[in-house]
A and B are shown apart, each in its own frame.
Chain A
Amino acid sequence: MQIQIRGIQKTFGSFQALGGVDLDIESGELIALLGPSGSGKTTLLRTIAGLEFADSGRILFGGEDAAPLPVRERRVGFVFQHYALFKHMTVFENVAFGLRVRERKDRPDNDKIKAKVLELLDLVQLSGLDKRYPSQLSGGQKQRVALARALAIEPRVLLLDEPFGALDAKVRKDLRRWLRSLHDKTGYTTIFVTHDQEEALELADRVVVMNKGRIEQVGSTDEVYEHPATPFVFDFLGGVNVLPGTARGQNIDVLGVDVPLPCGIHEHTGPVDVYVRPGDLRVGDPAQPGFEAEIISVQRTGPIVRWDVHAKALDQRLEVEIPHLHHDVSRHAPGQIVRLRLNQYSVFARIPPPGAKSGSTLPDTKLIGRERERGRLG
């Protein structure tokens, strides 16, 4: 089911949860709403479901306005963060609920319900657990019961609110892959909410990055990671080093090194901020252009070695990440001076002082440091 969202606004008291959101979701797509807490992602999901009502704007389900439809007629499969399984019903009855509450004329007979429920339990790999009660299940199992229950009504769209939020890391990873394969098998249009960028990037076809009730960027996982549209997106999808630079035509002067403007931007002049991920700072040849930095400390986190370096020209600490088998790891130790170069980076115009007009062709650098909520990689 194709879903079109047009200018959705929602305020709670004086807090603006959604400030004019537009989004198109294609049929059969698996899409992630990613953002920090308070970014409005859950509100958007609940508005699509009909559990929340927008102050203004429209939501179209396959071209049909969904606004007059109450939640029970929208046929959305909503999976709650804490599953909301009916404690007094068995797994079987939980899954059968959506079929049993139908009006008599639409209600399938008992045999059909039974066949359908067992088929769904098979799909979510819970065959044989149909007589259990929710309290007798593990977190991952509850999650899959909730999913089967939502699928039982053959929803037009499947909505998942922080589907893996309440699970431990290992189960979360397994379930993530499993959900991806389930989606490929069933093809339901699926929207899920998460604050974990790793989860969003791994699972989704497209990622919607949200901040303060607005969409910062919509794109494939490659697009949002490789070409972040705003400083916020860059920062939210992993660690970041911010270097001051000056753009002159087609080049930027960063710490005395000339680097070309990233493709897609033709020309710019003025102060800019260069955003580079810790993994995109490389140790360069002393002969090549680059800037010098002293290694302050070395820290290993799993397969990644992290250097804390001090850039002399900048008098600023930077983070560098290197794969642990890389030859640079064994070659350098704290106290040494290395020459760093930028491998890949994004450029954003620096916020002009208040009052001055920027007239810039680049998106502004917002003060992201203040509201930064680091993902797990960062």
Chain B
Amino acid sequence: MTQPVDHSLQDPPKLPFEPLIQRNAVITEQPWVRWLLIATALIFLAGFLLLPLVAVFVEALRNGLGTYVEAVKDPDALSAIKLTLVVAAIAVPLNMLFGVAAAWAVTKHQFRGKQFLITLIDLPFSVSPVVSGLIYVLIFGAQGYLGPWMSDHDFKVIFAIPGIVLATIFVTFPFVARELIPLMQEQGTDDEQAALSLGASGWQTFTRVTLPNIKWGLLYGVLLCNARAMGEFGAVSVVSGHIRGMTNTMPLHVEILYNEYNFAAAFAVASLLALLALLTLVLKSYLEWRLGDELSATRKH
């Protein structure tokens, strides 16, 4: 007869750590082969990634810090920075909302046309940004479908901020949803069903169970979405009209300055964008370090 066991304070057994000894594995290649491979990779990285990054900052500061500050403090530059932040501040939260809603619908519910919806979410990734910009011109432009109605009501989309926001939303739409769908698919619906059976309402289930389960993945998606929203060039370029001080975002401003041979100023503004990219990378690495497992399901980009 077995005695009834008291489970109360039993920990799972701790297994002794045994280092894996791998023989004939990749790491046992000849030293010169290893060094050659590492050197090739490093040179490639330095030449194609690090060098341009350094060049941006070097060019920006070529004429001294004074010129740099001046270029950034230029009213047109400041207005471009402001517009970029405003657009991101509108587009990113909206995309977060749409992304979570789409991922929730796709992963936690069964309905007709689900596969079609998933394909649709991916559309902005497969369409050239210029084309997506043109779509909005076609719809809202002066000669577009809604053009006459818009001008009647004195409401401008194209060559104005609404157009830029729309184009940005379109281009950055998939980031949050693509990040969440695999994650939520892997998590399944058991947790939600458990919450419902315990008496939680749909909203309580979402805020107390679903959202905490996906919060890191969501943050990661938002981060990528934000980086793209601030850096988007193609679609925004088509709908913006490049009106200085009014509809110019940072990437567009960089282009204008560059075309005017104002290299120092162009690189100064570009360096701000590069800083943003670096910041995104740091945050992204931090998130990955924080939650390697949760994100591993979403290694897609």
Contacts and interface: CB of A to CB of B under 8 A. Distances in A.
Interface in B186-211: 190-191, 193-201, 204, 208-209
Nearest to B294: A87
A336 B257 CA distance: 102
B201 to A, nearest CB: 7
Contacts of B195: 86, 97, 101
A101 B198 CA distance: 8
- Chain A CB within 10 Å, residue with most, of B11, B194, B195: B194
B9 A80 contact: no
Contact of B196 (A72, A77, A127, A150): A72
B193 A78 contact: yes
B10 interface: yes
B2 A97 contact: no
A76 B198 CA distance: 8
A71 B194 CA distance: 10
Interface string A31-75: 000000000000000000111000000000000000000111111
Interface string B1-25: 0101111111110000000000000
Interface in A176-228: 177-178
A84 B201 contact: no
Interface string A84-99: 1011100000000110
Interface residues of B, number: 26
Interface stretch (A134-142, A287-295, A361-369): A134-142
Chain A's interface size range is 35 or more
Interface string B118-158: 00000000000000000000000000000000000000000
Interface in B257-290: none
Nearest to A70: B196
Contacts of A78: 193-194, 197
A91 to B, nearest CB: 12
A125 B8 contact: yes
Contact of B199 (A72, A87, A141, A144): A72
Contacts of A150: 197-198
B212 interface: yes
Interface string B75-117: 0000000000000000000000000000000000000000000
B213 interface: yes
- Chain B CB within 10 Å, residue with most, of A71, A80, A84, A128: A84
A97 B200 contact: yes
Contacts of B194: 78, 80, 84, 86, 149
Contacts of B5: 174
A242 interface: no
- Chain B CB within 10 Å, residue with most, of A51, A72, A173: A72
A73 to B, nearest CB: 8
Given A80-B193, A84-B190, A88-B213, A140 B7 contact: yes
A144 B12 CA distance: 15
A76 B197 contact: yes
B7 A144 contact: yes
Nearest to B8: A125
B213 to A, nearest CB: 7
Given A126-B8, A138-B12, A141-B7, A80 B190 contact: yes
18 contacts: A51-B193, A73-B199, A78-B193, A80-B193, A86-B194, A86-B208, A86-B209, A97-B198, A97-B208, A101-B200, A127-B8, A137-B12, A138-B10, A141-B10, A144-B7, A174-B4, A174-B5, A178-B7
Interface of B: 2, 4-12, 190-191, 193-201, 204, 208-209, 212-213
Interface of A: 49-51, 70-78, 80, 82, 84, 86-88, 97-98, 101-102, 125-129, 137-138, 140-141, 144, 149-150, 152-153, 173-174, 177-178
